[in-house]
Structure 1
Amino acid sequence: MEVSESVFGELDGMVIKSYAVKTKSGMEFTCIDYGCIITNILMPDKTGIKESVVLGFDTLEEYERNSHYFGSIIGRVSGRIEKAEFTLDGNTYKLAKNENGNHLHGGPNGFHRAVWDSSLENSLDEAHITFTYTSPDGEEGFPGELKIEVTYTVNESNELIISYRGVSNKTTLVNLTNHSYFNLSGNLKRDILSHELILKSDRFLVLDSSFIPTGRVEFVENTAFDFRESKKLGMGIDSSEQQIELVGGGYDHPFLLNINNQEEICLFDRESGRKLEMETDQPCVVIYSGNSLQGDIDIRGKKAQKHLGVCLETQIPPNMISNPSFATAKLAANEIYESRTKYAFKVMQDK
């Protein structure tokens, strides 16, 4: 295993570090300590050609200009909080508004915009890149000083494990995720409509017109949301179901997972032969099919386009702050927040 550290850029007088890990079996992984952004993951296809399988940029300036959260850690709370406010233990907190009067992905200066402290440790078959950040009491409106640690572990099995840990001195909300966009075709040769997904989920959450979960649960059977058996993303996206059309033609929905830590999420591209298997201890995954990936954005030589990548955001169901039917983002003072998701990159075996 080869590991290295370099300078990616400079922001407000602070040096932004980049970390690179290369496994003997062909995976290359890079990340930076601005937003804990995963800048690139390279994987071989079925013929051995190594190409990028995530959306990202090569310069800090591009990440600063871009608003799509490529590869970043999202917090304090991922997803949308209705009307940018919540009540906790009898106190009402007003949050930063950054999407139609709502609070999205931690606010305009959420964790994706923070410069984290970082360190690298490695052994013969594993590398650990650890990021730490202290979010001050009141940042973006959230109560409590929150100390967060995120670790990216890359091993010789071509696995990426993201571990999250946090503690606050006041009761607050925490719901972290990673916002990488995956495209297994390699170097963005095709969109993700022909990618196939298997998801061990019987239920999804219905969204309102602001894309916020209402708390209503629907079963996936006989809908475009049924991925219990392999199905192309495009088959669902092409449907005329109201929830698909609501979000601009695609998915931006929380799926409730039936099981945990048992390869409950699988994405693959038959043409390239690349496969991503995921497992998590979180109760939910938000599938976002890149419905808003448009505009004058150049992504390593490829113009942004709708459905160019798909996000698989493992987390607590968004906007569920006090709903007793769901796990909530409430974190009591001095309680430990922990979460873990594993991404295993593989090559499909011909049958």
Structure 2
Amino acid sequence: MKYTISQNNWGEFNGQQIFIYQLTNSNGVKVSVTNFGAAIQSLSVPDHAGNMVDVVLGYDDLQGYIDDQFYIGTVVGRFANRIAGGKVLINGTTHQLTVKDGGFHHHGGKVGFNKKVWKPQSFTNEDGVGVILEYMSEDGEEGFPGNLTTTVTYTLNNQNQLIVDFDAVTDQSTLINLTQHAYFNLAGHNAGSILDHQLQLPLTNYLPVNAMQVPEGTLTPVSGTPFDFIEPTAIGERINEDNAQLILSRGYDHSWVVKKQDSDELKLAATVFEPISKRTLNVFTTEPGIHIYTGNFLDETITGKQKSSYPFRSGLCLETQHYPDAPNKPHFPSTLLNPGERFKSRTVFEFGVND
């Protein structure tokens, strides 16, 4: 039952102290978290022979995260993914969010939660070891109304689960859609392509996107498409097919429907298996969707940990979240948060081996 935690100074950003925390469970699983961008910096888990390897992409130092353009390991908010047009109507008032070239709001705006300094607090209890990180996003930040206070709690337990809990409150009606943007490679962060990973999604519908790469609005059956992962399938088996959706996104960069309505129920959203190491990853979530991104914009110019390069499709993101463009799709689960309400979500990343 022994858990340990260490805290070390990791530098400064805009006069604020940055720390890195290492969490360890009784099985030797180690997770490192920093309060810059609430990033998961490393995550070491055993393979079938007990060998510990770091299975998330990341950087060796703070400067890597300051310069990062790929949201590697960070928390994305206030609003993960895309909102078409960037104009949103909230309780009868129109708000203009910051937009990218192409005319859409993306991953929280120009300076999203992934570039913020979070207030940290570590803990150890009978359920695990972890860090609570808090950030207060001021009214008007990136165009969003309301002072929004968000906490993310990372907990590592002896079941080799990393639990990610989000909690948020606001003083004005606003929008929220948070996700953890870790890039996984179960063969090791510097092992190259993830196309041999077997992916299983027990999900029957996905969200096709338009040219802006926001959902068209239909919940479309996966049957007969390259988006059918009901049975375990190598990610690379169909990724290069002549399919308009895959061509548009340079691979998988789509949301699947975990639930059609909000609920507190923790559901299995994805299972990943790496055939050489035999490592497995199960993803459980209370969120209505999971966005699968196959690292289609990574390239060899990225220098990661241990001077590794992170080439095209060398990391797999399993982003549990609400559906993209929900503010423009009233039939999607709502991303509206009102004063007096709490936004809460939980995602569990559970690691194991399958001999």
Could you state the TM-score of these two structures normalised by the residue count of structure 2? 0.95
Deviation, 1:69, is 0.3
Within the candidate set 279, 297, 301, 2:302 is matched to 297
Is contact 1:186-1:272 (8 Å) kept?
A: no
Q: Determine if the alignment matches structure 1 residue 343 to structure 2 residue 333.
A: no
Is contact 1:163-1:340 (8 Å) kept?
A: yes
Amino acid at match of 1:155: N
Give the whole-Å Cα distance in 1 for the aligned partners of 2:161 and 2:82: 30
Q: Determine if the alignment matches structure 1 residue 219 to structure 2 residue 205.
A: no
Give the whole-Å Cα distance in 1 for the aligned partners of 2:331 and 2:98: 27
Deviation, 1:233, is 0.5
What are the within-5 Å matches in structure 2 for residues 247-326 of structure 1?
Answer: 247-248=249-250, 250-257=251-258, 261-300=266-305, 301-326=307-332
Root-mean-square deviation (Å): 1.4
Unmatched runs of 5 consecutive residues or more in structure 1 = none
Amino acid at match of 1:315: Q
Give the whole-Å Cα distance in 2 for the aligned partners of 1:238 and 1:291: 12
Deviation, 1:322, is 4.7
Is contact 1:93-1:141 (8 Å) kept?
A: yes
- Superposed CA deviations along residues 214-245 of structure 1, whole A, max 9, x for unmatched, are 21222100110001110010012122111011
Deviation, 1:124, is 5.5
Is contact 2:219-2:257 (8 Å) kept?
A: no
Give the whole-Å Cα distance in 2 for the aligned partners of 1:83 and 1:206: 18
- Superposed CA deviations along residues 148-203 of structure 1, whole A, max 9, x for unmatched, are 11100111111111111111111110011100000001242231100011111111
Within the candidate set 41, 47, 50, 1:48 is matched to 50
Is contact 1:322-1:328 (8 Å) kept?
A: no
Give the whole-Å Cα distance in 2 for the aligned partners of 1:98 and 1:60: 25
Moved more, 71-80 or 124-133: 124-133
Q: Which runs of 4+ in 1 moved over 6 A?
A: none
Deviation, 1:101, is 2.5
Give the whole-Å Cα distance in 2 for the aligned partners of 1:120 and 1:110: 23
- Superposed CA deviations along residues 36-68 of structure 1, whole A, max 9, x for unmatched, are 000000111111211110000011111111100
Is contact 1:170-1:334 (8 Å) kept?
A: no
Percent identity, please. 34
What are the within-5 Å matches in structure 2 for residues 35-184 of structure 1?
Answer: 35-123=37-125, 126-184=128-186
- Show the counterpart of 1:16: 18
Deviation, 1:257, is 1.3
Is contact 1:188-1:302 (8 Å) kept?
A: yes
Q: Determine if the alignment matches structure 1 residue 333 to structure 2 residue 339.
A: yes
Moved more, 144-153 or 92-101: 92-101
Within the candidate set 192, 217, 227, 1:190 is matched to 192
| 1:271 match: secondary structure | coil
Unmatched runs of 5 consecutive residues or more in structure 2 = none
| 1:39 match: secondary structure | strand
| 2:326 match: secondary structure | coil
Deviation, 1:333, is 2.2
Is contact 2:267-2:286 (8 Å) kept?
A: no
Is contact 1:45-1:347 (8 Å) kept?
A: yes
Amino acid at match of 1:278: V
| 2:298 match: secondary structure | coil
